[in-house]
Amino acid sequence: MEIKKILLTENKRWILGSAFVAILLILPILFLLTGLYALEKTSLSYLWETLLLDYTFNTFYLIIITAFFSLLFGIFPAWYISNYKFKGRFLFDLALYLPLAIPSYIMAFTYSDILSFTGPIQSFLRANFYQASLFFNRDYLQIEILGVILALALYPYIYTASRVSFTLLGSNYINVAKNLGLSSINTFYKIIIPLSRPAIFSGLFLVLMEVLNEYGAVKYFGINTYTTGIFRAWFSMNDVGAAIQLSVIMLIVVFTFFYIEKYISSKTRYYYKINTQIQKLSKLTFKNKIVVYLVCSIPFLFGFLIPFLFIVNNVLTTYHLVNIKDLTDLTFNSVIVSTISSALIIIFALFFLFIEKISKTRLNYYISQSISLGYAIPGAVIGLGLIIMFTSIKNIFSSFSLLGTFTLLIYAYIIRFLAVGKAPIKSSIEKQPDSYDDTAKNLGLSPFMLLKKIHLPINKFALITAFIVTFIDLMKELPITLILRPFNFDTLATQTYEFAIEEMIPLSSIYSLSIILIGSILLLILKNILNKQIDVS
Amino acid sequence: MKKLFYLLLYTVLLGCSPNKNSKEVNLYSQRHYAVDKLQYENFQKLTGIKVNVIKANADELIERLKNEGEDSPADLFVTVDAGKLYRASKMGLLQKISNKIIDTNVSPDLKDKNGYWIPITYRARILVYSNQRVEKNDLSTYEELVDEKWKGRILARSSSNAYNQALMSSIVANLGSDLASSWSKGIVRNFARDPKGSDRDQVKAIAAGQGDIAIVNSYYIGLLLSSEKEEELNAGKSVTVFFPNQAENERGSHINVSGIGLAKYSPNKENAIKLMEYLTSEEAQNTYVNNSYEYPANPNVTPSEIVQSWGTFKRDTLDLNMLGKYRDEAIRIFDKTGWK
């Protein structure tokens, strides 16, 4: 049926094209899974006997803590900023995005330094308030603390999603709810949260993917998760089987999570009308103002300002050791590679989403889902998958080798980050009514012209958003770059990492600061765009 | 759009074009210190040979070498762990080197008995103890750390760390699996806290009073003692370095080398050997010790002042290949005895 349908449609060339590209993108993952047949039973039983329980517990515990705190740090400020008027509202709205510019491993290293026995807080207390310093002299490398730190680095995903959603919902619902006598708290929990759930969930999904894939920070905190387990099995024990088994378990976790949400959404479907009135922001009483300021400043303060100042301070103490030429070279490398890769990623994302929209076949739905798979797999695993795949190809066509080239590096980036670039474009495309496509078709526009004349312009903002979000993620990317990079190629992220793992955090600061500054500038641009989008509707 | 396309095409082509310059040597390196860059620059000035480097974790580089096979551009494989060199040699990724200059440059007990790799520097995995709460005489050997009196006082980082894995491998090699297992159990029982953080964090934890003895790498203690931050220096000064297993009848302290193997399909073999000769020479060995806290493989060179201040010590003369041979067993022991 399905095949017949595809062959009958006028878009069949596009559909087949998208299927072909999708295969290229998931091939390395399939190559890995072929490793499953070569499994030794001993790996699995060894894992069961020793570590699996520990890995599973840690992974889920860390996910729960991070999820809880990133929801807390993300939703409430978004709610207040979307609906209330207070001084500094605009600034908070900008500032709350900024933690996204700080790579989570840098956040973790920085905080463990700040909190440590030789860090500024404990040193200050020891010098001035000895008794208090005894109380604060603790072991801060705990899973709970890591969860909060990761939440501070990742909550902007939820903030962004809920901020847009809350604004789009707007005052209609709130007014109706108030007229019906619901208190503000009840309105928030009974009306706004359920209506915004898909948006919040899309943000939460990104947070969880990041936590699942986190390697540097969890290793430093001595917490064994599935990802550290994959590395340990594969690299330290040379047990590819166990590594693949763990990857598969991780994928199952992701799918479960994904489908639970799907199931719930399908059972309770909300249709809501987007706000059309100019939204009136409510004023706050004095008491509420304090709450609002606290809620809005805590995530910014701890998620950005404190680590940022700490890093700046490190830079100031080590600036005489910085090689300016290295710094500019690395910045150039990071920017160029991230630009090219993000551009390709949004082209691919738009391509797939556009075909999904015009074709409406099940095949394209699955294609569109499966190309996001890469985001659920640790970068190093994708890197190795590609190496294995290209080795097999080389064995067939002997002269063809991409190993050690930028092409392969960018290929890997696309696989890993397509999902990131896809999300904003998807939500924008879904908002466009089908009537645009139908009208265009009736007017005789070819699919390519439809893409060029209609979808490119109307999704312009989404495309720029997607570009920026992907770019920032790529600037922070580490494991793929390490494993697939060509000779003499360093980025800001790899240099930061190399100093950090050698316990030379101050020397790494100038490089992490560059990542943060470039990211922050882009985030400010992004914020501007999002504001425009919100205004438009 | 068109411009973008050409830009992409350009990168693709640039990425594919093989670099056929014979005045060069290609390194896959686990080392990524400032001193290495300096060495390669000096080498180029001296010989005109350009050193190209890909830096990543040793295991990932091994995986890359293995998959690239005959087409690999790598000439040299550089690690900070003899175990990884052993593994690479066992996987057939290295070729034997016999070179008189290198042979005379390095200490005989640091060399590979099978001739597949050469040492450039070494580090010791030693103990540091709290000046306030531990007497030097209380300490003697690694094995003694399982004693009841150290309960709740020992600090170490996680078992995913390659240096801990190498230490455990040396214990398996010296004492056998059973004794190594019970040693690991004893250490876990005596831990002050779950293993975590870096080596530097273990020292800080002693300064903070969270534990009294830490198992650390000499290299990181050197780094800590040269920190620009006063508080960190104070933490460093609150502990003393102790070399275990030094008594007459003991085997010596565990060491591990940073070394280089010649890739089996090295395309620039001559240049590669020149680089190895250079890196073991007195000139380059002096560059190492002046810019890092490693011990030189060349016995004619003395380590940095900080390192010298700890005194000399007896090295465990175990064949360093054993650090690789018993690696899997070591990790199993960690897993089974709950050393996280």
A117 vs B: CB within 8 A: yes
Q: Using a CB-CB distance cutoff of 8 angstroms, which residues of chain B are in contact with residue A404?
A: 54, 68, 73
Checking if the pLDDT of B18 tops 50, the result is no
Cα–Cα dist A289/A291, whole Å: 5
A292 to chain B, closest Cα gap in Å: 36
Domain check: are B325 and B229 in the same one?
A: yes
Domain check: are A302 and A354 in the same one?
A: no
* DSSP code, position A6: H
Cα–Cα dist A380/A104, whole Å: 17
Domain check: are A441 and A380 in the same one?
A: yes
CA-nearest residue of chain A to B27?
A487
Let me know if residue B16 belongs to a domain. no
Domain check: are B273 and B286 in the same one?
A: yes
Q: Using a CB-CB distance cutoff of 8 angstroms, which residues of chain A are in contact with residue B60?
A: 235, 380, 383-384, 482-483
Domain check: are A51 and A21 in the same one?
A: no
Give the residue carrying structure tokens 């696309």.
A414
In this complex, which of B4, B197, B335 lies closest to A141 when CB atoms are compared? Answer: B197
Cα–Cα dist A331/A493, whole Å: 10
Of residues B309, B316, B334, the one with CA closest to residue B256: B316
pLDDT of residue A273: 57
Q: State the number of CA atoms in the 13 A half-sphere of A350 facing the CB.
A: 25
CATH assignment of the domain containing A267: 1.10.3720.10
Give the amino acid at B66.
K
Higher pLDDT, A196 or A421: A421
- CB–CB of B220 and A503 under 8 A? yes
Domain check: are B54 and B110 in the same one?
A: yes
Domain check: are B133 and B156 in the same one?
A: yes
Cα–Cα dist A382/A380, whole Å: 5
pLDDT of residue B180: 96
pLDDT of residue B15: 47
Residue A92: domain span: 45-317
Q: Mean of the per-residue pLDDT values for chain A?
A: 83
Domain check: are A232 and A377 in the same one?
A: no
Let me know if residue A78 belongs to a domain. yes
> Which residue of B67, B157, B227 to mutate against A (max A Cβ within 10 Å)?
B67
**Quick one: pLDDT band at residue A536, thresholds 50, 70, 90?**
very low
Domain check: are B43 and B156 in the same one?
A: no
Per-residue pLDDT of B187-209, as tens digits, reads 999 999 999 988 989 999 999 99
Domain check: are B168 and B260 in the same one?
A: no
Domain check: are A185 and A95 in the same one?
A: yes
Let me know if residue B294 belongs to a domain. yes
Highest mean pLDDT among A109-118, A280-289, A365-374, A525-534: A109-118
Domain check: are A310 and A340 in the same one?
A: no
* Phi and psi based region of residue B119 (left: phi greater than 0; alpha: psi -120 to 50; beta: remaining): beta
> Which residue of B87, B194, B234 to mutate against A (max A Cβ within 10 Å)?
B194
pLDDT of residue A248: 80
Let me know if residue B133 belongs to a domain. yes
Let me know if residue B308 belongs to a domain. no
- For chain B, how many structural domains are there in total? 2
Domain check: are B170 and B269 in the same one?
A: no
A344-360 mean pLDDT: 87
Longest pairwise C-alpha distance within chain B: 75
For residue A184, the surrounding DSSP H or E stretch is helix A184-186
- For chain A, how many structural domains are there in total? 2
Cα–Cα dist A185/A205, whole Å: 26
- CB–CB of A139 and B327 under 8 A? no
Highest mean pLDDT among A32-36, A126-130, A250-254, A500-504: A126-130
CA-nearest residue of chain B to A347?
B1
Cα–Cα dist A76/A528, whole Å: 21
Domain check: are A433 and A331 in the same one?
A: yes
Instruction: Please say which residue of A255, A284, A317 terminates a domain.
Output: A317
Give the range among A49-58, A327-336, B303-312 with minimum mean pLDDT: A49-58
Count of CB atoms within 10 A of residue B89's CB?
22
Cα–Cα dist A216/A228, whole Å: 9
Cα–Cα dist A82/A163, whole Å: 6
Cα–Cα dist B62/B65, whole Å: 5
- CB–CB of A340 and B7 under 8 A? yes
- CB–CB of B197 and A404 under 8 A? no
Let me know if residue B3 belongs to a domain. no
Give the range among A165-174, A240-249, A392-401, B109-118 with minimum mean pLDDT: A392-401
In this complex, which of B12, B232, B335 lies closest to A118 when CB atoms are compared? Answer: B232
- Sign of the dihedral through C-alpha A456, A459, A464, A465: negative
Residue B188: domain span: 123-253+319-337
**Quick one: pLDDT band at residue B17, thresholds 50, 70, 90?**
very low
**Quick one: pLDDT band at residue B13, thresholds 50, 70, 90?**
very low
Domain check: are B198 and B150 in the same one?
A: yes
Domain check: are B225 and B156 in the same one?
A: yes
- Kindly calculate the radius of gyration of chain B based on its CA atoms and give it in whole angstroms: 21
A383 vs B: CB within 8 A: yes
* DSSP code, position B30: S
Instruction: Please say which residue of A317, A349, A372 terminates a domain.
Output: A317
Domain check: are B185 and B166 in the same one?
A: yes
Checking if the pLDDT of B93 tops 80, the result is yes
Question: Interface pTM (ipTM) of the complex?
Answer: 0.81
Cα–Cα dist A32/A79, whole Å: 43
Longest pairwise C-alpha distance within chain A: 80
A110-132 mean pLDDT: 89
- CB–CB of B54 and A220 under 8 A? no
pLDDT of residue A339: 95
- Quickly list DSSP for B47-111: H-PEEEEEE--HHHHHHHHHHHGGG----EEEES-HHHHHHHHHTT-EE----HHHHHHS-GGGS
Let me know if residue B135 belongs to a domain. yes
pLDDT of residue A159: 92
CATH assignment of the domain containing B82: 3.40.190.10
Checking if the pLDDT of A299 tops 70, the result is yes
Domain check: are B130 and B238 in the same one?
A: yes
pLDDT of residue A515: 94
* Phi and psi based region of residue B77 (left: phi greater than 0; alpha: psi -120 to 50; beta: remaining): beta
Let me know if residue B11 belongs to a domain. no
CA B340 to the chain's CA centroid: 21
In this complex, which of B55, B87, B228 lies closest to A498 when CB atoms are compared? Answer: B55
Cα–Cα dist B307/B304, whole Å: 5
Cα–Cα dist A405/B11, whole Å: 9
CB A414 within 8 A of CB A344: yes
- CB–CB of B228 and A317 under 8 A? yes
- CB–CB of A503 and B198 under 8 A? yes
Per-residue pLDDT of A383-440, as tens digits, reads 878 887 887 777 676 655 677 788 889 999 999 999 888 888 887 787 777 777 778 7
Count of CB atoms within 10 A of residue A183's CB?
11
3-state secondary structure of A276: coil
Per-residue pLDDT of A219-263, as tens digits, reads 889 898 988 888 887 777 777 777 777 888 888 888 888 777 777
Interstrand relation of B154-155 and B239-242 (parallel, antiparallel or unpaired): unpaired
A28-51 mean pLDDT: 68
- CB–CB of B12 and A220 under 8 A? no
Q: Using a CB-CB distance cutoff of 8 angstroms, which residues of chain A are in contact with residue B68?
A: 391, 401, 403-404
CB B306 within 8 A of CB B289: no
**Quick one: pLDDT band at residue A370, thresholds 50, 70, 90?**
confident
> In this prediction, what percent of chain A has a pLDDT beyond 90?
25
A464 to chain B, closest Cα gap in Å: 15
Let me know if residue A346 belongs to a domain. yes
> Which residue of A55, A124, A130, A139 to mutate against B (max B Cβ within 10 Å)?
A139
Let me know if residue A514 belongs to a domain. no
pLDDT of residue A43: 63
Checking if the pLDDT of A181 tops 90, the result is no
- CB–CB of B223 and A407 under 8 A? no
* DSSP code, position A232: I
Domain check: are A153 and A27 in the same one?
A: no
In this complex, which of B33, B56, B235 lies closest to A502 when CB atoms are compared? Answer: B33
Residues shown for chain A: 537
Of residues A527, A530, A533, A531, the one with CA closest to residue A96: A527
Domain check: are A88 and A218 in the same one?
A: yes
Domain check: are B144 and B181 in the same one?
A: yes
Domain check: are A282 and A184 in the same one?
A: yes
A232 vs B: CB within 8 A: yes
pLDDT of residue A537: 41
Domain check: are A277 and A332 in the same one?
A: no
Q: Using a CB-CB distance cutoff of 8 angstroms, which residues of chain A are in contact with residue B199?
A: 503
Domain check: are A201 and A122 in the same one?
A: yes
- CB–CB of A403 and B67 under 8 A? yes
- Quickly list DSSP for B194-242: -S-S-HHHHHHHHHTTS-SEEEEEHHHHHHHHT-S-HHHHHHHHTEEEE
B109-127 mean pLDDT: 94
Instruction: Please say which residue of A317, A347, A372 terminates a domain.
Output: A317
- CB–CB of B208 and A238 under 8 A? no
- CB–CB of A498 and B71 under 8 A? no
- CB–CB of A483 and B60 under 8 A? yes
Global pTM?
0.86
**Quick one: pLDDT band at residue B313, thresholds 50, 70, 90?**
very high
